[in-house]
Amino acid sequence: MNNSGIYVGLDIGTTSIKAIVCENVKGQLNVVGVGSEQSAGLNRGIIVDIDKTAVAIKKAVDQAQEKSNVTIDEVVVGIPANFLKIEKSRGMITIANQSQAREINDQDVIDVAKETVMQSLPPEREIIDLKADEFIVDGFNDIKDPRGMVGVRLELHATLYTGPKTVVHNTKKALEKAGIKVKDLVVSPLAIGDTILNDGEKDFGTVVIDIGGGQSTTSVIHDHQLKYSFIDPEGGQYITKDISVVLNTSLASAERIKRDYGYANSDTVSEVNTFTVDVVGQSKPVEFTEQYLAEIIQARVEQIFERINQKLQSIKALDLPGGIVITGGVAALPGITDLAEQYFGIHVRAYVPDQMGIRHPSFTQGFSLTKFEANLNEVDLLVKRALRDNEAIQSHDDESHSGSFRDSIKSSRIDTQKRRAHQNAPEQQRAQSKPKDKKEKTDRLTGVKNFFNDFFN
Ligand SMILES: Nc1ncnc2c1ncn2[C@@H]1O[C@H](COP(=O)(O)OP(=O)(O)OP(=O)(O)O)[C@@H](O)[C@H]1O
Ligand SMILES: [Mg+2]
């Protein structure tokens, strides 16, 4: 980490909008304030009513501002992985002719990055991000930073992330209406993978599942890159709805009992523990067992897992050595890692941010955005500048675009925020914890190899 200052991550989720204010002090990212407000105008991760979402964004940012005592004028915002495309892209520029070879500078990096994105995109798609994989100077490859080197020809091999124009536009527009500038747009699972996995997991390959309120996002990270991401259109809201329908209670009370008494794995829940709930048409609260509640929850979680499992199997991603890391609000359900291990038959762990004030997996996304941005190096920033310059050329009449990418970050007085952490209930010990179908080592290696062939080249 080398970019000191204040970073604000904005996670526009289906159920809540989270604004996380972090201060980067000598590489240490400290949370100094959090705003979390109920969402509005979203359906399954996508903004469908810009005005309503803008109001909710403003509330979340105002709250974060108040808690942190930091003036927030720009945020790093996550773009969901719906219809995300990840492509390889190449660009090349001539630095000088043979007799005048000169040192490569910042502007050359920007220029070659611009060349890299100079490809015709379908009209309904928009570039979200571009990440340099390697630079090549006069045929010498695998260069991470070409500046200061002497050469006549500079090439860039990069990864290009594109999304539906509507999704990107609606996000920018909602922020514009909320009066907040976009410091950077980041593909959500790119930031999450970068933040919650350790070096080995990123390198050898790991699956990340973010189970939110409106949808579940599964991503495959390997070789330190996001290789693949897909969406399942169900999340915690469906669990709440099931509880409400089965127990004949309001959505609000279903949500409450899910959080207070919910378990994802009914095998591990005692039959004797009970709770009461207001039931429609009954004058007195009705008693149910926690085991019954767990059965309702488990049925929906298994349905989500089943669809994810089919997709992961089809790309052989379950053979990746890193296993699965689950996060997102639903990961707060006790017993979910055990259930996932039974289901997918591989090692599963849950990720919960461990910073004070954000100890809940709902905050993973917002925090990841700040960490991702704070970790960008100078070359990353130049490459991103090329993207924003291009954007400004394409829509020079829209000031919010050209003026949005700023190098400097204003910071002001900071009070340590004292928001109480929401701790995860301890995970239940699972009775039968053995993965269902453990594979032979050789099978696993073959599978990993096939996966590499299919997706990594
Ligand atoms: N302790 C808990 N037990 C069970 N479920 C929980 C708990 N805490 C939060 N949830 C559920 O997590 C979901 C919200 O998670 P999250 O904040 O990650 O979603 P989101 O970002 O708003 O939505 P999405 O990512 O789908 O757009 C809600 O459905 C909520 O009920
Ligand atoms: Mg989310």
pLDDT one-digit tens code per residue, 92-132 = 999 987 678 899 999 999 999 999 998 778 899 999 999 99
Share of the chain above pLDDT 70, in %: 84
User: CA–CA separation, 321 vs 326, rounded Å?
Assistant: 15
pLDDT at 403 over 90: no
Tell which wins on pLDDT, 413 or 398: 398
Tell whether ligand 1 has an atom less than 6 A from the beta carbon of residue 82: no
Tell whether ligand 1 has an atom less than 6 A from the beta carbon of residue 188: no
One-letter amino acid at 71 equals T
According to the model, what pLDDT value does residue 98 have?
A: 67
According to the model, what pLDDT value does residue 404 have?
A: 32
User: CA–CA separation, 187 vs 331, rounded Å?
Assistant: 21
Same fold, 85-164 and 231-352+422-455: no
CA proximity to 380, closest of 70, 153, 4, 109: 109
Report the residue among 234, 258, 260, 275 best suited for mutation to probe ligand 1: largest number of ligand atoms under 8 A from its CB.
258
- Ligand 1 atom at minimal distance to the Cα of residue 297: 4
3-class DSSP state of 123: coil
Query: Taking a C-beta distance cutoff of 8 angstroms, is the pair 142, 134 a contact?
Result: yes
CATH of domain 5-83+166-198+362-402: 3.30.420.40
Distance 233 CA to ligand 2 centre (A): 12
201-233 pLDDT tens trace: 999 999 999 999 999 999 999 999 999 999 999
Where does the pLDDT of residue 393 fall: very low under 50, low under 70, confident under 90, or very high at 90 and above?
A: low
pLDDT at 436 over 50: no
Third-level CATH fold of 85-164: Dna Ligase; domain 1 (3.30.1490)
User: What ligand has the least distance to the C-alpha of 301?
Assistant: 1
What's the gap between Cα 182 and its chain centre?
17
pLDDT at 74 over 70: yes
Distance 402 CA to ligand 1 centre (A): 34
One-letter amino acid at 364 equals T
The b-or-e profile of 146-163 (16+ CB within 10 A means b, else e) is bbebebbebbbbbbbbbb
User: CA–CA separation, 352 vs 403, rounded Å?
Assistant: 35
pLDDT at 434 over 60: no
The b-or-e profile of 372-383 (16+ CB within 10 A means b, else e) is bbbbbeebbbbb
According to the model, what pLDDT value does residue 425 have?
A: 34
21-59 pLDDT tens trace: 999 998 889 999 999 999 999 999 999 999 999 999 999
Residue 322 DSSP label: T
One-letter amino acid at 285 equals P
State how beta strands 74-79 and 85-94 pair: unpaired
Tell which wins on pLDDT, 439 or 151: 151
According to the model, what pLDDT value does residue 271 have?
A: 87
Least confident piece of the model among 91-100, 330-339, 386-395, 447-456: 447-456
According to the model, what pLDDT value does residue 120 have?
A: 75
**Exposure on the CB side of residue 262, measured as CA atoms within 13 A:** 26
pLDDT at 410 over 80: no
Query: Taking a C-beta distance cutoff of 8 angstroms, is the pair 104, 154 a contact?
Result: yes
Tell whether ligand 1 has an atom less than 6 A from the beta carbon of residue 262: yes
Tell whether ligand 1 has an atom less than 6 A from the beta carbon of residue 259: yes
Share of the chain above pLDDT 90, in %: 79
Residues belonging to the chain: 457
Domain boundaries, the chain: 5-83+166-198+362-402, 85-164, 231-352+422-455
State how beta strands 140-143 and 85-94 pair: unpaired
User: CA–CA separation, 77 vs 19, rounded Å?
Assistant: 9
Where does the pLDDT of residue 407 fall: very low under 50, low under 70, confident under 90, or very high at 90 and above?
A: very low
pLDDT at 370 over 70: yes
Tell whether ligand 1 has an atom less than 6 A from the beta carbon of residue 335: no
CA proximity to 367, closest of 112, 10, 63: 10
Distance 115 CA to ligand 2 centre (A): 33
The CATH H-level (homologous superfamily) assignment of domain 231-352+422-455 is: ATPase, nucleotide binding domain (3.30.420.40)
Which structure tokens are listed for 56?
Answer: 């909710």
pLDDT at 188 over 70: yes
CA proximity to 240, closest of 296, 308, 201: 296
According to the model, what pLDDT value does residue 389 have?
A: 75
According to the model, what pLDDT value does residue 444 have?
A: 44
**Helix H or strand E encompassing 325:** strand 324-327
3-class DSSP state of 411: coil
Distance 209 CA to ligand 1 centre (A): 13
pLDDT at 422 over 60: no
Query: Taking a C-beta distance cutoff of 8 angstroms, is the pair 445, 113 a contact?
Result: no
281-338 pLDDT tens trace: 999 999 999 999 999 999 999 999 999 999 999 999 999 999 999 999 999 999 999 9
3-class DSSP state of 24: strand
According to the model, what pLDDT value does residue 157 have?
A: 97
Tell whether ligand 1 has an atom less than 6 A from the beta carbon of residue 146: no
Tell whether ligand 1 has an atom less than 6 A from the beta carbon of residue 212: yes
Who contacts 297 (Cβ-Cβ below 8 Å, separation ≥6)?
239, 242, 243, 258, 262, 263, 264, 266, 333
